[in-house]
Amino acid sequence: MDILKERILREASVINSDVLKLDALLNHQVDPELTMEMGKEFARRFAEKSITKVITVESSGIPVAFATALALNVPLVFARRKKTLIADQDALTERVPSFTKGIVTDIMVSKQFLRPEDHVLFIDDIIANGDAARGLIKIIERSGAKLAGLGIVVEKSFQAGAGTIREQGIVVESLVKVASLEGGIIRFE
């Protein structure tokens, strides 16, 4: 997605050789029009997969996952990072470390919203080490739903996450792949 590459070059900043800051367009401020274009692109790439539900993990994947669900005309489910006192008893939970937050959290999806008959498209904003993604994939597997694939806005392909998920035989579609941040320079694949 060339427009997204241009926006990243213009608005992102490299914190260090591992961390790309996308606050201006992805995970703090969001451009709704650009996000809708991303959603339509994911909908196009998974058009043949009879998707019944889009899923993401709160929170920064929610806008693009919402845009994708709107384009596909299916419900969106966002997995909760479990701290709430009113969580469903009837929930699927996985414990995952967070690369950017430096903490461990439990992610949770109510069984009510993830059914064995669902074809699920998992959308997220960034994939680095893929810990949260692997956690949600385990939850989807345990629910009995079929995982149609992952749609990622920015894949940091120099980190292991997307690679290890593809090795499981899961389709991962990334709108942009960042090959390196060495020397403070963003290099796309």
Contact in structure between 161 and 133 (CB atoms under 8 Å): yes
Query: In whole angstroms, how close is the CB of 70 to a second copy at the nearest point?
Result: 4
- DSSP bridge pairs for 136: none
DSSP label of 90 = S
**Which residues lie near a second copy (CB under 8 A)?**
15, 19, 21, 23-24, 28-33, 35-36, 58-60, 62-63, 66-67, 69-70, 73-78, 80, 83-86, 88, 100-103, 109-110, 112-113
Give me the amino acid identity at 167: E
**Residue 156, annotated as binding a ligand:** yes
Query: In whole angstroms, how close is the CB of 61 to a second copy at the nearest point?
Result: 10
Contact in structure between 157 and 179 (CB atoms under 8 Å): yes
Contact in structure between 68 and 121 (CB atoms under 8 Å): yes
Cβ distance to a second copy smaller for residue 154 or 172: 154
**Residue 16, annotated as binding a ligand:** no
What is the gyration radius of the CA atoms in the chain, in angstroms? 16
**Residue 82, annotated as binding a ligand:** no
**Residue 71, annotated as binding a ligand:** no
> Binding site: residue ranges?
20, 27, 128-132, 156
